[in-house]
Amino acid sequence: MSRHDHRRSGPRSKRNQTPPPPGWRGWFVLTLFVAFAVVLAGRAFDLQVLDQAFLTKEGDKRHLRSVSVPAGRGVIKDRNGEPLALSAPTESVWAVPGAVLEAPEKIAPLARELNMPVSELRSRLESYKGRQFLYLRRQLAPTDARAVMAVDAPGVFLQREYKRYYPAGEAAAQIVGMTNIDGRGQEGLELNRDDYLHGEPGSRRVVKDRVGRVVEDLAEFQPPQAGHDLRLTIDSRMQYMAYRHIKAAVVKNDAKGGMVVMLDPTTGELRAVASYPSFNPNDRDSIDPSGVRARAATDVMEPGSTVKPLLLAKALDSGLFDTDDVIHTKGWFMVGRLTVKDFRNYGDVDFAKILQKSSNVGAAHVGLKMGAEGVWRAYNDFGFGDITGSGFPGERFGVLKDFYEWNNVETATASYGYGLAVTAFQLIRAYGAIADDGMLRSLRLIEGEGADMHVPPRRVLKAKTARTMRHLLEGVISPAGTATKAAIPGYRVAGKTGTARKAGSGGYNADRHQALFVGMAPAEKPALVTLVMLDEPKKDAYYGGAVAAPVFAAVMRDALRLLRVPPDDPSVLTASADTRSNGAGT
């Protein structure tokens, strides 16, 4: 290289060299790192020491849980303390779907213990894998639940619940009602008194891990408050008898349905309310909606001839008629365009014969003399057109149109039970007044705590009139009356038959009837009043005396023996016992 080249390249090499950084830059960076470390340390000190509660709270949000502790639902009991509805502890199986899917080998044995197809279980887990809670099976027996847990599948847990059980089954189902799977009332008194029976759940604080397992049970515990027990006026023994007899009668007569209601007239307490068809509240899958409603409270019917004692009692009580007054009939008469007819020409009839033969003509003459307002007030005084005070959900008011809308035709037909509609509760309550010497009482289904307030009983008949009417009604059960099949050996029985045609879209149907009998025993001082109704009996007979009266006799015979009511004629029972004793020795 020439000297010239060397001189030219020397300065260029100097210019390409990088000068060293200034010393102050290193100190600046170091200062920044130190300051950042001091800030981090200060924040950590603040969170860990000064503001520890904040971190604890944030951690608790992710791990602490409040677990509900179920409360036992109150027991529904009959008047003797026998359970009609009670709750049994069960276990429900729930899962964290994602955790279960992480162990696919556990799905098949888990499905087997849950009595579920494997494909169904896997599909449900996949569908809800983003959730932290999924019920797999509700309300298992404890032994079945232990078998599920023995599979040892991850993310599967048990939850204590209570399952409602009904010892009386279908016999008392429509009155007691039922709950849903979550223990809330759905029908009957279970619905009507749901808040009273339900109770308040408790709670406990626990620590759970990411898959929902309880890893620590903390000391915070709020105990559950059990629901209140409910005692009914129903006697379960009489309820069973009533249901058994009405079910047999419906089947025997190929009827659409039927009911039996039994009343203690001195207190207004209902002893049995049974109807068929019914339902089994212990088997929800088999429930037919047509059997759920309590027909005695919710279904209305034209009472037919069963209103005649009420009409005649009021006519006697007002002084407008006397029992010896004679009404001239010829088997029929005209009221406007209406022909009022009897089964046959009974000639001259007094009150005893009007009831004994169930004369429409005689009752219509009495009603027309009382007038529209008099007939209306008679029925209204006995509680028609008003609820009975039973407290049962869905109870109907019935139909009793204002009397100013009545003409002579409507007054006449109302006199023998057409043109108005009542519930079985209303009808038996009215007969209870005749049985209790003229006192009309509110009906009662619940006694003690949880019961409704009731208006005091009121007098609707003079005591003498009520006793006279009971004596007249004994004639209906006599050999000359329409209800000989209602007789009970050894007891004096008073009652009245009724047979009402059912109305349809085209008027009254000659082939559809309701057969009724309402009676009481012993007639001198009744211990029970019983109503029997069969809806649309289709066999040979459909009259109340032929279809409903025998059911009354069977139910009342059993009930009077159960209550140990002394017979009016003990010799009849003694002779019957002797006959059975002699028969046993042959």
Does residue 521 belong to any structural domain of this protein?
A: yes
- Judge if pTM exceeds 0.75: yes
HEC string for 230-255: EEECCCHHHHHHHHHHHHHHHHHCCC
pLDDT digits (tens, 9 = 90+) for 91-111: 899 898 888 999 999 999 999
Does residue 170 belong to any structural domain of this protein?
A: yes
Averaged pLDDT for residues 456-479:
97
Report the C-alpha gap between 35 and 26 in whole angstroms.
14
Residue in 92, 278, 305, 390 annotated catalytic: 305
Helices in 455-541 by DSSP H: which ranges?
A: 463-477
Neighbours of 322 (CB within 10 A): 10
Q: What pLDDT shows up at residue 548? A: 97
Q: What pLDDT shows up at residue 207? A: 59
Q: What is the share, in percent, of the chain residues with pLDDT greater than 70?
A: 85
Does residue 279 belong to any structural domain of this protein?
A: no
Q: What pLDDT shows up at residue 437? A: 97
Q: What pLDDT shows up at residue 21? A: 65
Q: 253 and 206: one domain?
A: no
Range of the domain at 107: 67-125+134-232
Q: 215 and 259: one domain?
A: no
Query: Has 305 been annotated as catalytic?
Result: yes
Contacts of 126 (CB under 8 A, 6+ apart): 97, 101
Q: How many domains does the chain have?
A: 2
Q: Is the pLDDT of residue 582 over 60?
A: no
Does residue 301 belong to any structural domain of this protein?
A: yes
- CA dist 473 to 328, 515, 546, Å? 21, 18, 17
Q: What pLDDT shows up at residue 457? A: 95
Q: 397 and 524: one domain?
A: yes
Q: 200 and 254: one domain?
A: no
Q: C-alpha 7: how far from its chain's center?
A: 117
Q: What pLDDT shows up at residue 450? A: 75
40: its two tokens: 């981090």
Strands (E), 223-331: 230-232, 257-264, 269-276, 327-328
Q: 207 and 258: one domain?
A: no
Q: 347 and 430: one domain?
A: yes
Q: Is the pLDDT of residue 215 over 90?
A: no
Q: 254 and 227: one domain?
A: no
DSSP secondary-structure letter at 225? Answer: B
- pLDDT level of residue 493 (50, 70, 90 thresholds): very high
Q: 426 and 528: one domain?
A: yes
Q: 315 and 408: one domain?
A: yes
- The CATH number of whichever domain residue 408 belongs to comes to 3.40.710.10
pLDDT digits (tens, 9 = 90+) for 247-274: 999 999 999 999 999 999 999 999 999 9
Q: Is the pLDDT of residue 291 over 90?
A: no
Averaged pLDDT for residues 548-566:
97
Q: What pLDDT shows up at residue 586? A: 35
Q: 255 and 214: one domain?
A: no
Q: Is the pLDDT of residue 2 over 60?
A: no
Q: Is the pLDDT of residue 66 over 70?
A: no
Q: Answer for the pair 482, 357: CB distance below 8 angstroms, yes or no.
A: yes
Averaged pLDDT for residues 117-135:
90
What is the crossing angle of helices 408-415 and 360-381, to 10°?
A: 90
Report the C-alpha gap between 388 and 489 in whole angstroms.
32
Q: Is the pLDDT of residue 9 over 90?
A: no
Q: What is the share, in percent, of the chain residues with pLDDT greater than 90?
A: 63
Q: 259 and 220: one domain?
A: no
Does residue 85 belong to any structural domain of this protein?
A: yes
Burial class (CB in 10 A: 0-12, 13-18, 19+), 239: buried
> Which of 21-35, 62-76, 134-148, 206-220 shows the highest mean pLDDT?
134-148
pLDDT digits (tens, 9 = 90+) for 340-379: 999 999 999 999 999 999 999 999 999 999 999 999 999 9
Closest by alpha carbon to 409, among 446, 369, 457, 368? Answer: 368
Does residue 154 belong to any structural domain of this protein?
A: yes
Averaged pLDDT for residues 161-177:
93
Q: What pLDDT shows up at residue 583? A: 47
Does residue 307 belong to any structural domain of this protein?
A: yes
Report the C-alpha gap between 559 and 275 in whole angstroms.
17
Q: What pLDDT shows up at residue 30? A: 75
Average pLDDT, whole number, for the chain? 87
- The CATH number of whichever domain residue 103 belongs to comes to 3.90.1310.10
Q: 75 and 205: one domain?
A: yes
Q: What pLDDT shows up at residue 20? A: 67
Matching residue, tokens 């009975």: 388
Averaged pLDDT for residues 28-38:
77
> Which of 44-48, 213-217, 218-222, 561-565 shows the highest mean pLDDT?
561-565
Report the C-alpha gap between 359 and 351 in whole angstroms.
10
Does residue 388 belong to any structural domain of this protein?
A: yes
